[in-house]
A and B are shown apart, each in its own frame.
Chain A
Amino acid sequence: MVDCVKNEYRHHIGSHEEIMAMKAKHQVLATYTFDPTVIERGYNNRSLYISVGGQYDVSEQDPLLRKTEGERGIVIGEKAVTDFMKQKFTGGKGFDLYHLWKAVKADTSWNAPENDIVISPGPLAGITQYPGAGKSLVCCISPTTHLPIDSNVGGYFGPFLKFAGFDILELQGQAEEDILIYIDGNNHTISVETAPEEAFDSHILGEQLSEMYANSTKDKENISVISSGRAAEHSYIGILNFTFWDKRRQCIRLKQAGRGGIGTVFRNKKIKAVVIRYSGVHGDLNNPANKGLLNAAGIRLHKEMAHYDTKQNNMRKIGTANIIEVMDRYDLLPTHNYQYGGHPETPKIASKVFIEKYITQNVPDGCWYGCSMSCAKAADNFELRTGPYKGQKVCVDGPEYENGGGLGSNVGCFDPRWILEANFYCDTYGVDTISHATMTAFAQECYQRGLINLDDTEGLDLRWGNGYALNELMHHMVAGDGFGMIVGKGIRHQKRIYAERFGKVLPEYESMLEGRPWVSIKEPVIDKPIPTVHFNPDLADCEYLKAEGYDDEKVLASIKGDLLENAGANNDSAYIAQPGRWSKLIGVPTIGRDEITAWPVGKPYYSDDPDCCYSNGRPWVKMTPEQIAEMEEFGMENKGLEYSEYLMKESLAQQGGYALCNKGPQHDEAWLIFMDMVNNQIPTFEDKAEALHYFPMFRTWFGLLGLCKLPWNDITPINNKYEAEPAKIPEHVQNYFDIYEGVIGEKHSEASMVVQSERVYTFQRIFILRMGSGQRKHDTPPARSLGPITVGEYLSREERYDKQMKEIIGVDPTGKSIEEKVKIIMAYRWDQFEQLVDAVYKRRGWTPNGIPKLEKLIEIGMDIPELVQTVRPYLKQEGYWPSGEEYAKYDE
């Protein structure tokens, strides 16, 4: 057994008696009994619907076949999973989007009660013969994008839901107080109960509820819990944690549905947790059509894992974090807010550091039964240095690659301990590590460019690499404290708030602020990259040092000395200051929200905006239009979602893969960097467009079926080198068609797979169109995603850019200033990007404005009235509505 950490925080979890006392405080608000079913070839053919309360229109939704109504407006019922749904939407993300479309209207906001969290495991989910088959897909309207978001997650909940008897779980409404939902998959009962006393942070709540609902310690392996965390209360980047019981560590583990703020919606509904219990997992529960096909495919992959993983990707030792140093070597590791693709200090956070010092080895870390890839790694006995659990030893789920790339290099932090610390707190608070890292990196760059200052950040010194300050920022965000709360709502929100309220004071108003704790705007330093600052983490912890007998002066002197020695940094902000508190100043007026936009730039004012999370009387100053435009260039978001952690500047296909992604820039639609940038296998626009069709469709397919992507191409068969298209890993694609046939009973091919995915992919495009996005202008990326936007970025790779200018663009760089060369490179790259978009839209059957054509809908069998109605006005306006009698029926 692994030396587990749970005793360290047992006092937070509570004893068994204390936990059962919590349960006794529950008030049951509704109960429901359902009939057992037998899964037919992957489907139960019914879904579970729960409204946790509130008034909203359900007239467009599929009818409830059975239902019960509890107290406070709670409804529990069942809906049919029809042949129409299976044919058009397959399952998983397809089912989610179908129900979400029915639940919401074009103007539904993320916090409206009708917003629907839909969870579906997919028809192949739950098989144990083939690795990576325990995925759930989760959708809702996102707080950050106001569009449908989809996120996939491991853990046991999805398969248990299916084995309990449901293909889908829908959560709608808004409860009056904190509730939890308990699904007993063996006794066929569901209850909705108040949950007043359980913890909010997931690493504790998961333990409490596993203890509460399991019949014994061994029975905990039959429990899975969905929860969010405290971050969801104040940020837009709340995640859902799905637990599974790690019987070797004897503690719960967490897997995350991370992107787009689904946890924020979950908490907005006042759902504290959904708990499921199912006992009796075995390999045949999907009632597969041909188990022999499943077994044969599974054995092939298990053998590959056993023989080749250590020679290939080391997934079983370190999981996805194996690529941290590879990304650095190929100049793809996002560094300092995507300015650069690597850093000299990356070896400090390389995978072998985590393997040798932190990650417990030789533990089968699969997040569902039968997964020999076993990549859900964990660092045991990790001692925390900040926050509410400071000093405790905990189990950290991770790090995934995104933790290294995001919480490490992108924020300039090359200390594995700070990465693991942030990793832990992101998980237990319920924070999306990717968005958190990217939005923090944006705030850091704003700070270092002088767009915001130490007073704006309430004393947090946001220079690259200040791990202490970055973790403190997260604690502030979770606590709902001023600046942390602004950052936690995302880059798009930050840009708006900064534009309205942060900026340089005009000289004529400076006297008003004389003597106040205002730190002058610093000179921009971004073009002169600062060496990463390395605090001695213990020295940076003032409270600790004070307890050890140091006085403040000694502490500061030590820290400043450390900074000056290592970084040559100024010493005016080299410590974690307390938030500056301003009193009202004479001559600084208080203005309303309506006046803000018309207020002169550089003239200070107090805000009485009720949305303003500051209450410290700080005078605001509006940014100049130039400063606002500057933020648009390096704020790494699209459609309101933060970019994930890959540097895409040198890969046009990856720039498209990100910007054209329906939900926002997440790499799970298409990851083409090596095919494009390194291998140059897709040199023409048409080649790239084909890749940006095939790969997003194949990746969509995983989300329809309930499969993990990793066993597809993070292990490679030995004969793959002989394949005509090795990047597709054809032998593994055939494995997937075999397991599809094995469960569903129908043969599958590349062509039928692509169409199956195109139906849902195109549906999602029309869905975002319905919600106010989905046109070409919405697919526009920030400038930095295309290339160097600053002198510093250009100079860092000057030889490369000069060569490109001369050999590809045909302009001689000799004698040109760096500023001129940046303009030339960027103008060329914008033109390339627009040509790529043209090619991709054409390949996908969309208009040049990104609207799916009617002919495409007919071709893939998605010419259903609601979709046609949505695209029709755009197609007519753009002149793409087809003529001819065969189309007349669509014009009604």
Chain B
Amino acid sequence: MSDKHIELNHRTYPYREGLTISALMQENNFNFSHIIVKVNGALVEEEKWTKTAVYAGDNVEIIHIFGGG
């Protein structure tokens, strides 16, 4: 198991080779319809999530824009 990590929503998250935004979302059950993704502060448009690779040390923010109560 790799000892490399990324930051996911300000929490340490294990890195692995070939990790993408879509994989991260699937692993974390982030399946809400209205989500903003930023990697190292830069916005990643939804159509690029499947192909956008995440690298060790990246700061990934997956922000749910949720109205709620």
A679 interface neighbour in B29, B33, B63, Cβ under 8 Å: B63
B36 interface neighbour in A330, A673, A683, A726, Cβ under 8 Å: A726
B33 interface neighbour in A312, A674, A721, Cβ under 8 Å: A312
Is the beta-carbon distance between A326 and B43 smaller than 8 angstroms? no
In the bound complex, CA of A722 to CA of B38 (Å): 10
B65 interface neighbour in A668, A671, A683, A720, Cβ under 8 Å: A720
Please give me the residue from chain B that is nearest to A682 by CB atom.
B10
B residues 1-51 in Cβ contact with A at 8 Å? 9-11, 29-34, 36, 43
In the bound complex, CA of A330 to CA of B68 (Å): 12
| Interface residue? B62 (CB, 8 A) | yes
Is the beta-carbon distance between B31 and A329 smaller than 8 angstroms? yes
> B30 to chain A: which residues have CB within 8 Å?
678
**Given the known A-B contacts A671-B69, A722-B43, are A681 and B33 also in contact in the complex, defined by CB atoms under 8 Å?**
no
Min C-beta distance of A544 to chain B, whole Å: 38
| Interface residue? A323 (CB, 8 A) | yes
Is the beta-carbon distance between A680 and B31 smaller than 8 angstroms? no
Is the beta-carbon distance between B65 and A680 smaller than 8 angstroms? no
**Given the known A-B contacts A329-B31, A330-B29, A679-B9, are A674 and B64 also in contact in the complex, defined by CB atoms under 8 Å?**
yes
Please give me the residue from chain B that is nearest to A710 by CB atom.
B67
B69 interface neighbour in A312, A330, A644, A729, Cβ under 8 Å: A644
| Interface residue? A816 (CB, 8 A) | no
| Interface residue? A311 (CB, 8 A) | yes
A residues 602-644 in Cβ contact with B at 8 Å? 644
A727 interface neighbour in B9, B32, B65, B69, Cβ under 8 Å: B65
In the bound complex, CA of A312 to CA of B36 (Å): 13
| Interface residue? A646 (CB, 8 A) | yes
Is the beta-carbon distance between B11 and A716 smaller than 8 angstroms? no
Please give me the residue from chain A that is nearest to B61 by CB atom.
A679
> B31 to chain A: which residues have CB within 8 Å?
329
Is the beta-carbon distance between B67 and A668 smaller than 8 angstroms? no
> A668 to chain B: which residues have CB within 8 Å?
69
> A726 to chain B: which residues have CB within 8 Å?
36, 63, 65
Is the beta-carbon distance between A667 and B65 smaller than 8 angstroms? no
Is the beta-carbon distance between A646 and B69 smaller than 8 angstroms? yes
| Interface residue? A749 (CB, 8 A) | no
> A712 to chain B: which residues have CB within 8 Å?
67
The residue in B29, B31, B69 that gathers the most chain A C-beta atoms within 10 A of its C-beta is B69
**Given the known A-B contacts A313-B67, A671-B69, are A680 and B34 also in contact in the complex, defined by CB atoms under 8 Å?**
no
Is the beta-carbon distance between B68 and A312 smaller than 8 angstroms? no
> A727 to chain B: which residues have CB within 8 Å?
63, 65
Is the beta-carbon distance between B67 and A680 smaller than 8 angstroms? no
Please give me the residue from chain A that is nearest to B38 by CB atom.
A721
Min C-beta distance of B23 to chain A, whole Å: 18
In the bound complex, CA of A681 to CA of B64 (Å): 10
In the bound complex, CA of A352 to CA of B20 (Å): 31
| Interface residue? A714 (CB, 8 A) | yes
In the bound complex, CA of A91 to CA of B47 (Å): 46
Is the beta-carbon distance between B34 and A716 smaller than 8 angstroms? yes
Min C-beta distance of A665 to chain B, whole Å: 11
Is the beta-carbon distance between A323 and B9 smaller than 8 angstroms? no
In the bound complex, CA of A312 to CA of B34 (Å): 6
A674 interface neighbour in B10, B29, B68, Cβ under 8 Å: B68
**Given the known A-B contacts A679-B9, A679-B62, A726-B36, are A714 and B67 also in contact in the complex, defined by CB atoms under 8 Å?**
yes
B10 interface neighbour in A323, A644, A683, A722, Cβ under 8 Å: A683
> A680 to chain B: which residues have CB within 8 Å?
9-11
Is the beta-carbon distance between A678 and B33 smaller than 8 angstroms? no
Is the beta-carbon distance between B68 and A716 smaller than 8 angstroms? no
A residues 307-336 in Cβ contact with B at 8 Å? 311-313, 323, 326, 329-330
In the bound complex, CA of A66 to CA of B10 (Å): 62
Please give me the residue from chain B that is nearest to A311 by CB atom.
B33
A713 interface neighbour in B10, B61, B62, B67, Cβ under 8 Å: B67
Is the beta-carbon distance between A329 and B29 smaller than 8 angstroms? yes
In the bound complex, CA of A717 to CA of B28 (Å): 26
In the bound complex, CA of A678 to CA of B63 (Å): 8
The residue in B62, B64, B66 that gathers the most chain A C-beta atoms within 10 A of its C-beta is B66
Contact string, A705-723, partner B, CB cutoff 8 A, digits 1/0? 0000010111010001110
> B65 to chain A: which residues have CB within 8 Å?
713, 716, 720-721, 726-727, 729
The residue in B9, B11, B33, B67 that gathers the most chain A C-beta atoms within 10 A of its C-beta is B67
The residue in A668, A674, A683, A713 that gathers the most chain B C-beta atoms within 10 A of its C-beta is A674
A673 interface neighbour in B11, B29, B32, B68, Cβ under 8 Å: B68
Is the beta-carbon distance between A678 and B64 smaller than 8 angstroms? yes
> B43 to chain A: which residues have CB within 8 Å?
721-722
> A678 to chain B: which residues have CB within 8 Å?
9, 30, 64, 66
B68 interface neighbour in A323, A679, A721, Cβ under 8 Å: A323
Please give me the residue from chain A that is nearest to B37 by CB atom.
A721
Is the beta-carbon distance between B32 and A326 smaller than 8 angstroms? yes
In the bound complex, CA of A720 to CA of B63 (Å): 12
Min C-beta distance of B21 to chain A, whole Å: 14
In the bound complex, CA of A175 to CA of B62 (Å): 58
A residues 648-704 in Cβ contact with B at 8 Å? 667-668, 671, 673-674, 678-681, 683
Min C-beta distance of B58 to chain A, whole Å: 16
> A674 to chain B: which residues have CB within 8 Å?
64, 66, 68
In the bound complex, CA of A83 to CA of B53 (Å): 60
Please give me the residue from chain A that is nearest to B64 by CB atom.
A674
> A713 to chain B: which residues have CB within 8 Å?
65-68
Min C-beta distance of A872 to chain B, whole Å: 36
Min C-beta distance of A493 to chain B, whole Å: 26
Please give me the residue from chain B that is nearest to A679 by CB atom.
B63
Which residues of B are at the interface with A, using a C-beta cutoff of 8 A? 9-11, 29-34, 36, 43, 61-69
Q: A644-B69, A679-B64, A721-B43 are in contact. List 8 more A-B contacts (CB 8 A).
A: A329-B29, A329-B32, A646-B68, A673-B68, A674-B66, A678-B64, A679-B63, A714-B67
* Contacts A/B (CB < 8 Å), 26 sampled: A313-B33, A329-B29, A329-B31, A330-B29, A330-B32, A401-B69, A644-B69, A646-B68, A646-B69, A668-B69, A674-B68, A678-B66, A679-B63, A679-B64, A680-B9, A681-B10, A683-B10, A710-B67, A712-B67, A713-B65, A713-B68, A716-B65, A721-B65, A726-B65, A727-B63, A727-B65
Considering the complex of A and B, which 10 residue pairs feature the smallest CB-CB distances, nearest first? Answer: A667-B69, A714-B67, A671-B69, A713-B67, A674-B66, A680-B9, A721-B36, A671-B68, A674-B64, A680-B10
Which residues of A are at the interface with B, using a C-beta cutoff of 8 A? 311-313, 323, 326, 329-330, 401, 644, 646, 667-668, 671, 673-674, 678-681, 683, 710, 712-714, 716, 720-722, 726-727, 729
